Amino acid sequence: MPTELATPEAATRELSYAEAIREGLAQAMQADERVFLFGEDVGVYGGAFGVSGDLFHRFGPERVIDTPISELGIAGAAVGAAITGMKPVLELQFSDFVTLAMEQIVNQAAKIHFMFGGKATVPMVVRLPGGSGTGAAAQHSQSLEAWFAHVPGLKVVQPSTPHDAKGLLLAAIDDPNPVLIFEHKLLYKTRGPVPEDPYRVPIGNAAVRRVGRDLTIVGSSIMAIRAAAAAARLAAEDIDAEVIDLRSLRPLDFATIAASVRKTHRLLIVYEGVKIMGIGAEISAMIAESDAFDFLDAPIARLGGADVPLPYNPVLEKAAVPQEDDIVAAARRLVREGRA
Amino acid sequence: MASLPGSRTADAQAPERAELAALGDDALRVALSRMHLIRKFEETAEASYMRGLIHGTMHLSIGQEASAVGTTLKLERDDYILSTHRGHGHCIAKGADPARMFAEFFGKENGYCRGRGGSMHIADVEGGNLGANGIVAGGLPIAVGVGMSIKAQKQHRVCMVFFGDGATNEGAFHESLNMASIWRLPIVFVCENNKYGMSMDIARAMAVPNVADRASSYAIPGIAVDGNDLPAVVAAAEPAIDLARRGGGPTLLECKTYRLRGHSKSDRNLYRTKEEIETWRDKDAIRRLEHELVAHNRFAETELRAIEEAAHKTIEQALEFAKASPDPDPAQLTRDVYAD
Ligand SMILES: Cc1ncc(C[n+]2csc(CCOP(=O)(O)OP(=O)(O)O)c2C)c(N)n1
Ligand SMILES: [Mg+2]
């Protein structure tokens, strides 16, 4: 599969991650009457994180719909609308509340196309603000994306930049399958170049953010940002890291990871979700099962969330998820000492 | 002095209304003190947040004190409550120590949750408070289990569970009321209807005008009361508590009230008018009760100010205690994930 360097089209304005999503939503709604946004407080309030902003005033209450606090109900309503000709985009206020909507997403949305012998499609998008770092404590800070990457029938993406936030959203809305977009709360205000015209970032395509020869660091969402920052610091100590931003967890662009590992011979996987039984386990196993394994000069290393619910105390909260310093230290050990 | 809106008798010559006459001076002193403690606790929390001393977010119940205090006034120490994200009032009303609450706010080791939970998860298990909850309607099914447990252990306890108007649109609300009814569980369901679930006006979110109307679906008593009228709240809650304790099953009690602050710290109040907020400020439960008590010569103005002053002192000391408290040890990050 093709990979690309982090060189978004030149001469574009900068938008925040939240603004980029909003622009994508507006363009999708403009282009296609079947697209509508719904969720708790997406209307006049403009969304809990301000993502829908003024869309209510631009598109009206039929296209930007405030719902009661009924996560299971609204997830099911998205399924029903999707199988009968609409293209719902559902916002869950915090990704944690997907736990209340699991039934419809996992038992219904994911399986209907298959169970019905391919006779129905479920073109719905669920947007989920996730991640820690805001002091919101254990029920508002989780990174649950791996759960959904485990489910056949779902697609799962995790944009790290404003550019990808818009491009993956538009690709997700086009997709005939249910797509879950895990947005990161700490990224909403980050800014970057975003082309004005609609464009798609293909789902299932990783991006090589930095080319390097000494080790491969794989991450997504905010961990891809931290990995890139760590790589810049490592360069100062003569460690040349290649950084892969997964962008999509399911489908996973394994070819790009494997090609990189064959070149660098070392792999560090960084993710915010709990370390055990997570994304890192899957990528490690896929490498171990592939010919890329023969190229490894060091054991595969994982940096993931601590084995604990997210604590409220800010020092503990920070300690519970990989930070830039942790990535630098782990990469250094992997290259210099042969294990992280 | 002009009569305050909603106060029924400002005239010492007129007899006290029954709800007020039912309350002795000691009970009133306790109630007033708790309402002042809650108000001052939250004002101080808000100020601390503004000064950057607290991270995360918080949900203030300023304006709703009579509901928290009135419903719990006739509970016994060993009765249980389950609270919500807007739970400081319930916690104080059930007798928690504001100093340990403030310490939790500051993420300190001697806070109620050892700094792990924060504002949204304060629990005082020894005092019968089984916890605030970050999940809307999260406490309702738990209350059913508490009720089953009380019954199974042949205790004479009661479980009072708080939730907002918005929570009544979750499936968990309906499932819980049904189970509590069919099993005649000792539960008082207290809906604090403050007119909004975040930005969603109850009139847009719910098909019936009153939350109390929903009780008829479960064949239990449904009672609506002015939640800013302390004696009226006590008068409505007491029979519900007694009924539950006698084995007569659950009641749904709706306290109609209003939150004077935004939903959380990020609320820009786009969904309601200043006038509406002002109207409700005039119905302030604390001033209203004080006015009535003075009018009936139950308390002298100086006595009322002394109660308020004492509450202020307690909260000031609580804040100092929190500031001086130790932070958790990061080496204990994963402690308490499992019980031994
Ligand atoms: C399951 C779930 N959905 C959404 C939220 C986000 N949220 C927190 S409080 C709130 C509004 C709750 O309204 P209500 O029950 O009326 O309580 P109030 O805030 O008015 O006290 C919302 C939508 C949540 N915490 N949990
Ligand atoms: Mg409410």
Cα B241 from chain centre: 16
Using 50, 70 and 90 to split pLDDT, how confident is the model at A223?
very high
Give the Cα separation of B187 and B79 in Å (integer).
10
Whether B31 and B298 have beta carbons less than 8 Å apart is answered as no
Q: Is the CB of A100 under 6 A from ligand 1?
A: yes
Question: Which residues keep their CB under 5 angstroms from ion ligand 2?
Answer: B 164-166, 194, 197
Q: Is the CB of B88 under 6 A from ligand 1?
A: no
What are the residues whose beta carbons fall under 8 Å from the beta carbon of A254, sequence distance 6 or more?
A283, A286, A290
Ligand in closest contact with the CA of B59: 1
Average pLDDT over chain B, rounded to an integer? 95
Q: Please check whether residues A185 and A270 belong to one and the same domain.
A: no
Return phi, psi of residue B254, to 5°.
-105, 120
List, as ranges, residues 116-145 from A with C-beta within 8 Å of B: 134-140
- How much is the average pLDDT of B170-181? 98
Q: Please check whether residues A235 and A330 belong to one and the same domain.
A: yes
Domain spanning B18-324, CATH architecture:
3-Layer(aba) Sandwich (3.40)
Q: State the total domains in chain A.
A: 2
Q: Are strands A241-245 and A207-210 parallel, antiparallel or unpaired?
A: antiparallel
Cα of B164 vs centre of ligand 2, distance in Å, is 5
Q: Is the CB of B226 under 6 A from ligand 1?
A: no
CATH code assigned at A314:
3.40.50.920
Could you tell me the CA-to-CA distances from B287 to A7, A113, A278, B112 in Å, in that order?
62, 61, 55, 31
Give the Cα separation of A37 and A52 in Å (integer).
9
Q: Establish if A8 belongs to a structural domain.
A: no
Closest CA to B71 of B253, B242, B244: B253
- Residue A51's SS3 state is coil
Closest atom of ligand 1 relative to the A100 alpha carbon: 1
Q: Please check whether residues A183 and A51 belong to one and the same domain.
A: yes
Q: Are strands A35-39 and A87-91 parallel, antiparallel or unpaired?
A: parallel
Q: Please check whether residues A152 and A73 belong to one and the same domain.
A: yes
Give the Cα separation of B237 and B235 in Å (integer).
6
CA distance A319 to chain B (A): 7
Q: Is A71 a catalytic residue?
A: yes
From the list B55, B200, B206, the residue facing A41 with the nearest CB is: B200
Whether B153 and B102 have beta carbons less than 8 Å apart is answered as no
Closest atom of ligand 1 relative to the B194 alpha carbon: 20
CA distance A50 to chain B (A): 10
pLDDT at residue B265 in the model? 85
Q: Please check whether residues A180 and A320 belong to one and the same domain.
A: no
In b/e form, how buried is each residue of A290-312, taking b as 16+ CB within 10 angstroms? bebbebbebebbbbbbbebbbbb
Q: List, in sequence order, every residue forming a beta bridge with A192; answer none if it has no partner.
A: A15
Give the Cα separation of B191 and B173 in Å (integer).
10
What percentage of chain B exceeds 90 in pLDDT? 94
Q: Is the CB of B262 under 6 A from ligand 1?
A: no
Pinpoint the alpha helices (H) of chain B.
18-21, 25-50, 65-72, 88-93, 98-105, 139-152, 171-182, 202-205, 230-245, 274-281, 285-295, 301-324
Neighbours of B22 (CB within 10 A): 13
Q: Please check whether residues A284 and A137 belong to one and the same domain.
A: no
Q: Establish if A201 belongs to a structural domain.
A: no
Q: Establish if A5 belongs to a structural domain.
A: no
pLDDT at residue B8 in the model? 46
Q: Establish if A30 belongs to a structural domain.
A: yes
- Residue A312's SS3 state is coil
| pLDDT at residue A2 tops 70 | no
Q: Please check whether residues A103 and A221 belong to one and the same domain.
A: no
Q: Report the residue of chain A nearest B135, measured CA to CA.
A: A139
Could you tell me the CA-to-CA distances from B52 to A131, A273, B55, B87, B312 in Å, in that order?
22, 28, 7, 21, 21
What percentage of chain B exceeds 70 in pLDDT? 96
User: How do residues A69-106 score in pLDDT, each as one tens digit?
Assistant: 999 999 999 999 999 999 999 999 999 999 999 999 99
What are the residues whose beta carbons fall under 8 Å from the beta carbon of A59, sequence distance 6 or more?
A26, A29, A37
Give the Cα separation of A301 and A304 in Å (integer).
10
DSSP character for B218? G
Domain boundary among the residues A193, A215, A250 is at: A193
What percentage of chain A exceeds 90 in pLDDT? 96
Domain boundary among the residues A170, A193, A216 is at: A193
From the list A100, A136, A311, the residue facing B116 with the nearest CB is: A311
Q: Establish if A164 belongs to a structural domain.
A: yes
Ligand in closest contact with the CA of B86: 1
From the list B169, B267, B330, the residue facing A69 with the nearest CB is: B169
Average pLDDT over chain A, rounded to an integer? 96
Range of the domain at A250: 207-339
- How much is the average pLDDT of B30-51? 97
Range from A33-42, B7-16, B263-272 carrying the lowest mean pLDDT: B7-16
Taking CB atoms and an 8 Å cutoff, what residues of chain B touch A76? none
Pinpoint the alpha helices (H) of chain A.
17-31, 55-59, 71-82, 102, 112-115, 145-149, 162-174, 221-236, 254-264, 279-289, 314-319, 324-337
In b/e form, how buried is each residue of B219-238, taking b as 16+ CB within 10 angstroms? ebbbbbbbbbbbbbbbbbbb
| pLDDT at residue A191 tops 50 | yes
Closest CA to B71 of B233, B186, B211: B233
Q: Please check whether residues A73 and A188 belong to one and the same domain.
A: yes
Between chain A and chain B, how many beta carbons pairs sit less than 8 Å apart?
Answer: 120
Annotate A25-41 with three-state secondary structure: HHHHHHHCCCEEEEECC
**Token pair of B101, please?**
């609450």
Cα of B255 vs centre of ligand 2, distance in Å, is 11
DSSP character for B15? P
How open is the CA angle A20-A26-A27, to the nearest 5 degrees? Answer: 90
Taking CB atoms and an 8 Å cutoff, what residues of chain B touch A100? 135, 170
Closest atom of ligand 1 relative to the B134 alpha carbon: 25
Q: Establish if A278 belongs to a structural domain.
A: yes
Q: Establish if A199 belongs to a structural domain.
A: no
To test ligand 1's pocket by mutation, which of B57, B84, B85 has the most ligand atoms within 8 angstroms of CB? B85
CATH code assigned at A65:
3.40.50.970
Q: Report the residue of chain B nearest A135, measured CA to CA.
A: B56
| pLDDT at residue A285 tops 50 | yes
Q: Please check whether residues A158 and A35 belong to one and the same domain.
A: yes
Q: Is the CB of A96 under 6 A from ligand 1?
A: no
Q: Is the CB of B167 under 6 A from ligand 1?
A: yes
Whether A258 and A265 have beta carbons less than 8 Å apart is answered as no
Q: Report the residue of chain A nearest B171, measured CA to CA.
A: A70
Taking CB atoms and an 8 Å cutoff, what residues of chain B touch A71? 170
Whether B337 and A307 have beta carbons less than 8 Å apart is answered as yes
CA distance B170 to chain A (A): 5
- How much is the average pLDDT of B76-103? 98
Neighbours of A73 (CB within 10 A): 17
Q: Which of A113, A140, A163, A265 is catalytic?
A: A140
- Residue A66's SS3 state is strand
Q: List, in sequence order, every residue forming a beta bridge with A179; answer none if it has no partner.
A: A125, A155
Give the Cα separation of B9 and B56 in Å (integer).
43
Q: Please check whether residues A58 and A142 belong to one and the same domain.
A: yes
The answer to whether the Cβ–Cβ distance between A319 and B330 falls below 8 Å is yes
List, as ranges, residues 65-94 from A with C-beta within 8 Å of B: 66, 68-73
Q: Helix B25-50 vs helix B98-105: angle between axes, to the nearest 10 degrees?
A: 20
Q: Please check whether residues A118 and A154 belong to one and the same domain.
A: yes
CA distance A308 to chain B (A): 5
Q: Establish if A198 belongs to a structural domain.
A: no
pLDDT at residue B281 in the model? 97
| pLDDT at residue B116 tops 50 | yes
pLDDT at residue A179 in the model? 99
| pLDDT at residue A194 tops 90 | yes
| pLDDT at residue B157 tops 80 | yes
Give the Cα separation of A45 and A37 in Å (integer).
14
The answer to whether the Cβ–Cβ distance between A309 and B113 falls below 8 Å is no
Q: Which of A19, A23, A40, A71 is catalytic?
A: A71
User: How do residues B221-271 score in pLDDT, each as one tens digit?
Assistant: 999 999 999 999 999 999 999 999 999 999 999 999 999 999 998 899 999
pLDDT at residue B6 in the model? 45
Q: Please check whether residues A175 and A213 belong to one and the same domain.
A: no
Cα of B241 vs centre of ligand 2, distance in Å, is 23
pLDDT at residue B14 in the model? 85
Using 50, 70 and 90 to split pLDDT, how confident is the model at A12?
confident
The answer to whether the Cβ–Cβ distance between B271 and A139 falls below 8 Å is no
Closest CA to A93 of A128, A50, A58, A125: A128
Using 50, 70 and 90 to split pLDDT, how confident is the model at A3?
very low
The domains of chain B are located at 18-324
